[in-house]
C-alpha cells in the first residue's frame, strides 16, 4: 500500500492506496510533513483533492477500494450520491437504504468512513439541521459545508 501526505486548507491529509484503488483518505491531527514525491497510484487522487479545495471540482472520479463490511460499503456508496452543496439527515439516508430503523447503523458506518471528502460523510446532518459528529471535528465539517455552499458567506473576522 502506497501512501502520501498532502497539505490542505484543513490540515495535513494522508492518502493510502494502490493499483486497486484508494483505500483511505484521512485528516491528520498531528504535524506531519507533506510528501515530496507522490506515488503514481495516488497522483489522480491528489490532483482531484486539490481541485476540490480550489473550488473547481464537485464530483470525484477515482477508483475506490475502502475496506469495510457489506453494510458499510452500501452506506459509503449511498454517501457518494449526495450532491455537492446539499445535505441529508441520517434518517433520510437510512430511508434511501430502505431501512428507517437502521439509523444508528447508518450513523456508525458514516463515522467509520475511511475516505474523507471523496465519500462525503460531512454532508450528513441531524434531522433538525444541526451539525452532528464528524471524525475530523465539527469545525472542519462546517468549513466543508460552507466551502460547498452555493451561498458562500464571507467572514468578517
- The Cα 117–Cα 143 span in angstroms is 12
pLDDT of residue 71 exceeding 60, the answer is yes
Determine the Cα–Cα distance for residues 62 and 19; give it in Å rounded to an integer: 11
Which residues, in sequence order, are CB contacts of 37 under 8 Å at separation 6+?
A: 4
Q: Of all helices (H) and strands (E), which one includes residue 17?
A: strand 11-18
Predicted confidence band of residue 31 (pLDDT cuts 50, 70, 90): confident
What pLDDT is stored for residue 154 in this prediction? 55
Share of the chain above pLDDT 90, in %: 78
CATH topology classification for 70-148: Arc Repressor Mutant, subunit A (1.10.10)
Residue pair 94/109 in contact (Cβ under 8 Å)? The answer is: no
User: 96: left (phi > 0), else alpha (psi -120 to 50), else beta?
Assistant: alpha
pTM of the model: 0.90
Domain positions in the chain: 2-54, 70-148
pLDDT at 53 over 60: yes
What's the CA gap between 46 and 43, in Å, rounded? 5
Burial status of residue 70 (CB atoms within 10 A of its CB: 0-12, 13-18, 19 or more): exposed
Answer yes or no: is pLDDT of 57 > 70.
yes
pLDDT of the residue at 33: 78
Residues 76-110: tens digit of each pLDDT: 999 999 999 999 999 999 999 998 899 999 999 99
**Confidence band for 32, pLDDT divided at 50, 70 and 90:** confident
Catalytic residues: 121
54 pLDDT exceeds 90?
Answer: yes
Amino acid at each position: 500500500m502506497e501512501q502520501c501526505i498532502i497539505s490542505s486548507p484543513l490540515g495535513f491529509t494522508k492518502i493510502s492506496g494502490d493499483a486497486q484503488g484508494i483505500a483511505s483518505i484521512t485528516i491528520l491531527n498531528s504535524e506531519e510533513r507533506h510528501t515530496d514525491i507522490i506515488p503514481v497510484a495516488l497522483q489522480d487522487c491528489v490532483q482531484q483533492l486539490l481541485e476540490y479545495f480550489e473550488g473547481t471540482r464537485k464530483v470525484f472520479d477515482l477508483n475506490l477500494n475502502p475496506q469495510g463490511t457489506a453494510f458499510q460499503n452500501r452506506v459509503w456508496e449511498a454517501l457518494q450520491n449526495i450532491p455537492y452543496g446539499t445535505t441529508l439527515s441520517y434518517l433520510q439516508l437510512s430511508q434511501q437504504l430502505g431501512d428507517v430503523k437502521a439509523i444508528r447503523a447508518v450513523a456508525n458506518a458514516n463515522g467509520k468512513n475511511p475516505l474523507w471528502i471523496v465519500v462525503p460523510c460531512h454532508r450528513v446532518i441531524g434531522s433538525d439541521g444541526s451539525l452532528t459528529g464528524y471524525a475530523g471535528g465539527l469545525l472542519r465539517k462546517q468549513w466543508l459545508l460552507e466551502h460547498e455552499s452555493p451561498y458562500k458567506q464571507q467572514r468578517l473576522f
